[in-house]
């Protein structure tokens, strides 16, 4: 495939800017290994320039009324919508995700902006008689400059789901996308300027975590950090923020489970279960990598899933009939294949896949067949760790109590799905699961207006809905 080399810089105060050091990094398309962009790599001085721009823009931005800021978010949503094809193609070329999935992600990003731009009762100011019968006004104030650090798997939505509430609350931001997939975030900042957002309200710093990311986290004029990424780095961010007592939220990894009860509608459940772990090649923090199956239906489920896995069309993510694109890199592919080997050595039964496909495309790109493991037990590494690839672990259960115990085991607490035609049973299970997001009879349930907490090692803070907006504010009480 012919690729056009994009040359991109940092985006500071509304202008594309090279790094002061002149450093750049080549970004490649994981489907074929071709260079697609050369991107500036920021160091501490560039981060300082971006934070200064955000600080300068803060006064005028925060002075706008809530509804004026909502109008800006609405215009940004329209701008993204108008450039939908550019965004989707860029994400597919950079991340490797099939084009249809990238388009869905663009729609999801727009839906966050639309939700936040249409909130009616934001509860940012309230007056009441306090317990001493005096009058109190409770105000929600913005922090100032917020840092938003995002991972490589869903660059656009990871940025927008934090950006929208941060801006609406009156903050300005410095975004730091992953060094592997910065392109759609840079485009987002450019579209924001074209949509009329004042310069300096959104700034983008590209580069490594260790240099650009760490300088941003430690910057004295950044009081609030939203980190989206791995649990390991999230813990580092928490440690790095301790000295300055910064307010941080961490959106981290997961190892979510689906519970498939004997009375589930398998025709509906199985394509959804497979689609969920194969989405973005399993490189999804909400992937339900563990499928807990009730004993009486276990054999049938395993057989039918093998058929679904075998039917995947692996190849060029730009082709509309492709269902499984490449992973982010060959190095990541190798990491996943190590997990496949580990699963075998732990005694799990590899029912399908886990190897490099033999077609021509696979020779240049980071492709692998999805892997399906049977006979997985809760103590195995493949059952406990976030694999972050297309690997589904089948685990058999007898009683619902046993299923709940398995689902709740482990360090993560992001999401879960329950498949059952008995609404009472499903609701009862849902109440006993220690996770933030539960879907009943659907693979996943993420909506911009539905708040949830990140539980256990899946992070801190809350996501989506009014709670996400409030999380970008500080409370001030004024009493008479
Ligand atoms: P990562 O933690 O390696 O990197 C995330 C971001 O942090 C990148 O921009 C990186 O450059 C930066 N970074 C790395 N070291 C840093 C440091 N010392 N200081 C400051 N910044 C630093 O994660 P990744 O590999 O890019 O993404 C995959 C992980 O992200 C998975 O664990 C996945 O579950 C998680 N994730 C979570 C969510 C969520 O909303 N919960 C969403 C997407 C991905």
Ligand 1 centre and the CA of 168: distance in Å? 24
The region that residue 412 occupies, defined by phi over 0 for left and psi between -120 and 50 for alpha, beta otherwise, is beta
Strand partners, 150: none
The model's pTM: 0.98
Task: List all residues whose CB is within 6 A of at least one atom of ligand 1.
Answer: 149-154, 158, 176-179, 208-210, 213-214, 217, 228-230, 233, 236-237, 251-254, 285, 386, 388, 459
330 Cα–ligand 1 center, Å: 18
pLDDT of residue 359: 72
Ligand 1 atom 14 nearest Cα: 209
> What is the predicted pLDDT for the residue at 2?
54
Q: Pick from 226, 233, 456 the residue to mutate for probing ligand 1's pocket: most ligand atoms within 8 Å of its CB.
A: 233
In the CATH hierarchy, which top-level class contains the domain 6-252+458-479? alpha beta
| DSSP codes joined into one string, 455-478 | EETTEESEESHHHHHHTTEEEEEE
- Is it true that domain 257-447 has CATH number 3.40.309.10? yes
User: CA-CA distance, 95 to 326, in Å (whole number)?
Assistant: 8
Spell out the per-residue pLDDT of the chain, length 480, in tens.
Answer: 456 788 888 999 999 999 999 999 999 999 999 999 999 999 999 999 999 999 999 999 999 999 999 999 999 999 999 999 999 999 999 999 999 999 999 999 999 999 999 999 899 999 999 999 999 999 999 999 999 999 999 999 999 999 999 999 999 999 999 999 999 999 999 999 999 999 999 999 999 999 999 999 999 999 999 999 999 999 999 999 999 999 999 999 999 999 999 999 999 999 999 999 999 999 999 999 999 999 999 999 999 999 999 999 999 999 999 999 999 999 999 999 999 999 999 999 999 999 988 876 667 899 999 999 999 999 999 999 999 999 999 999 999 999 999 999 999 999 999 999 999 999 999 999 999 999 999 998 989 999 999 999 999 999 999 999 999 999 999 999
| Predicted pLDDT at 263 | 98
Sequence ranges of the domains in the chain: 6-252+458-479, 257-447
* Atom 34 of ligand 1, nearest CA residue: 253
Asked if the domains at 6-252+458-479 and 257-447 fall in one CATH topology, the answer is no
What Å distances lie between residue 287 and 290, 317, 348, CA to CA?
A: 9, 20, 20
Res 1: pLDDT = 47
The number of the ligand 1 atom at minimal distance from the alpha carbon of 254 is: 34
Q: For ligand 1, pick from 25, 184, 230 the residue to mutate: most ligand atoms within 8 Å of CB.
A: 230
Q: Is residue 184 classed exposed, middle or buried when 0-12, 13-18 and 19+ CB atoms within 10 A define those classes?
A: buried
pLDDT of residue 200: 98
Q: Which two tokens stand for residue 347?
A: 């005694």
Which CA distances in Å does 251 have to 159, 220, 378?
12, 22, 24
- Report the candidate in 223, 231, 228 with the shortest Cα–Cα distance to residue 247: 223
């Amino acid at each position: 495939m012919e690729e056009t080399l994009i040359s991109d810089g940092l985006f500071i105060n509304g202008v594309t800017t090279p790094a002061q050091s002149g450093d750049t990094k080549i970004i490649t398309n994981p489907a074929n290994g071709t260079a697609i962009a050369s991107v500036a790599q920021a160091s501490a001085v560039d981060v300082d320039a971006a934070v200064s721009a955000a600080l300068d823009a803060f006064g005028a931005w925060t002075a706008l009324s809530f509804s004026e800021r909502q109008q800006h978010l609405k215009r940004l949503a329209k701008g993204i919508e108008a450039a939908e094809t550019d965004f989707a193609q860029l994400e597919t070329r950079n991340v490797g995700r099939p084009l249809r999935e990238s388009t869905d992600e663009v729609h999801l990003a727009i839906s966050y902006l639309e939700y936040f731009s249409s909130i009616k009762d934001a509860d940012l100011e309230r007056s009441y008689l306090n317990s001493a019968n005096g009058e109190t006004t409770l105000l929600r104030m913005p922090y100032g400059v917020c840092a938003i650090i995002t991972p490589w798997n869903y660059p656009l939505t990871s940025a927008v789901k934090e950006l929208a509430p941060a801006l609406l609350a009156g903050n300005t931001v410095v975004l730091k996308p992953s060094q592997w997939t910065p392109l759609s975030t840079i485009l987002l900042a450019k579209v924001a300027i074209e949509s009329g957002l004042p310069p300096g309200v959104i700034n983008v710093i590209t580069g490594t975590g260790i240099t650009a990311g760490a300088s941003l986290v430690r910057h004295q004029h950044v009081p609030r950090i939203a980190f989206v990424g791995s649990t390991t780095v999230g813990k580092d961010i928490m440690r790095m923020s301790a000295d300055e007592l910064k307010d941080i939220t961490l959106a981290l990894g997961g190892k979510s489970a689906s519970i498939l009860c004997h009375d589930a509608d398998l025709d509906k459940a199985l394509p959804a279960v497979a689609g969920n772990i194969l989405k973005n090649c399993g490189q999804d923090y909400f992937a339900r990598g563990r499928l807990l199956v009730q004993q009486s239906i276990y054999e049938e489920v395993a057989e039918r899933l093998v058929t679904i896995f075998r039917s995947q069309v692996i190849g060029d993510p730009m082709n509309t009939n492709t269902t499984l694109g490449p992973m982010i890199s060959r190095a990541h592919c190798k990491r996943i294949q190590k997990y496949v080997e580990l699963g075998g050595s732990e005694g799990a039964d590899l029912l399908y896949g886990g190897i490099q496909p033999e077609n021509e495309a696979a020779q240049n790109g980071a492709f692998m067949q999805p892997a399906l493991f049977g006979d997985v037990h809760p103590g195995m590494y493949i059952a406990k760790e976030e694999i972050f690839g297309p690997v589904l672990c089948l685990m058999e259960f007898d009683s619902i109590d046993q299923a709940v115990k398995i689902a709740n085991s482990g360090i993560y607490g992001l999401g879960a799905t329950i498949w059952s035609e008995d609404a009472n049973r499903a609701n009862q299970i849902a109440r006993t699961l220690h996770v933030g997001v539960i879907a009943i009879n659907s693979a996943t349930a993420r909506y911009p207006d539905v708040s949830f907490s990140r539980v256990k090692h899946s992070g801190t803070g809350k996501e989506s809905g009014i709670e996400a907006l409030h999380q970008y504010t500080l409370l001030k009480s004024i009493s008479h």
